[in-house]
Amino acid sequence: MQNNDACLIIKDLHANVGDKPILKGVNLTIGAGEKHALMGPNGSGKSTLSNVLMGHPNYTITSGEVIFRGENLLELAPDERARKGLFLAFQYPVSIPGVKVFQFLRNMLQSRRGTDVSVRDFRKLLKEKMGLLNMREEFVKRYLNEGFSGGEKKRHEILQMALLEPALALLDETDSGLDIDALKTVCESINAVAATNPDMGLLIITHYQRMLNYIQPDFVHILFEGRIVKSGGKELALELEANGYELIEKQFRQPVSV
């Protein structure tokens, strides 16, 4: 794949939280329509990477470059990044009492498009997307994430993704807190959205291989101590599932300076 075909290009990205370096030279290229899985132990920088890409203010980029659809992503505010087609599904979606799901989703879509979307047109589109995900109409009459189960919160994130039709979706530990049945349902929803938007890139951030039983990645990367230290196909995820991260830690742990 040539760089000019890439949806996202990350070059030697370094980022801190306060004075503490977290990302220490991340390099990654995601092409349109490609599915990438990013795996690694706790503290390796996986969620930091997703937050940095979306422009979270708690993270400071010290060096490196991120090109998204031909533009310098790091020069854009978080809302501009979203309007350009970058989407983040949160690990822990928050509840917003008093805000109906229907209202939130319509406002979200209008912000993405930069134009008004009539209630009639939105209802038609929402019905189509909810049908794709096998979701009941009653869902959008509830308050945003209030009283939702873990699976419902994650399915709501995927419904947002279906409506926004992003160029690149970052799924930050979407499998977190889901039982086996909920995980299968959520992954089927992700696959359904991807099938209707074949040019959408996916970056699936996860600890475990189990999510990849349902979503077939084109590439698997291991993030360790702030760097991608190894890349491969799905067999790499199976290797991690069988052996854990011990071999990775032995091979790639950086010596401590004294």
Render pLDDT for 162-219 as a digit per residue (tens, 0 to 9).
999 999 999 999 999 899 999 999 999 999 999 999 999 999 999 889 999 999 999 9
Render pLDDT for 203-258 as a digit per residue (tens, 0 to 9).
999 988 999 999 999 999 999 999 999 999 999 999 998 888 887 888 887 665 54
Q: What pLDDT is recorded for position 104?
A: 97
Percent above pLDDT 70 for the chain:
96
Q: What pLDDT is recorded for position 257?
A: 54
Q: What pLDDT is recorded for position 237?
A: 93
**Beta carbons within 8 Å of 197's beta carbon, 6+ residues apart:** 165
Render pLDDT for 41-92 as a digit per residue (tens, 0 to 9).
989 999 999 999 999 999 999 999 999 999 999 999 999 999 999 999 988 8
Q: What pLDDT is recorded for position 258?
A: 46
Would you give the DSSP letter of residue 139?
A: G
Q: What pLDDT is recorded for position 248?
A: 85
Q: Taking the CA atoms of the chain, what radius of gyration do you get in angstroms?
A: 18
Cα–Cα distances (Å) from 193 to 15, 128, 159, 211, 215, in that order, read 31, 12, 9, 16, 12
Q: What pLDDT is recorded for position 256?
A: 52
Domain spans in the chain, listed from the N-terminal domain onward: 3-252
Q: What pLDDT is recorded for position 155?
A: 95
- Tokens for 115? 């134009």
Taking the C-alpha atoms of residue 87 and residue 168, their distance in angstroms, rounded to an integer, is 6
C-alpha of 40 from chain center: 15
Residue 25 region by backbone torsions, left for phi larger than 0, else alpha for psi between -120 and 50, else beta: left
Render pLDDT for 8-30 as a digit per residue (tens, 0 to 9).
999 999 999 999 999 999 999 99
Q: What pLDDT is recorded for position 246?
A: 83
Please give the backbone phi and psi of residue 223, each rounded to the nearest 5 degrees, phi first. -100, 125
Render pLDDT for 133-147 as a digit per residue (tens, 0 to 9).
999 999 999 999 999
The CATH number of 3-252, from 3.40.309.10, 3.40.50.300, 3.90.850.10, 3.10.180.10, is 3.40.50.300
8 Å CB contact between 12 and 64: yes
Q: What pLDDT is recorded for position 3?
A: 45
**Beta carbons within 8 Å of 219's beta carbon, 6+ residues apart:** 34, 35, 36, 37, 231, 232, 233
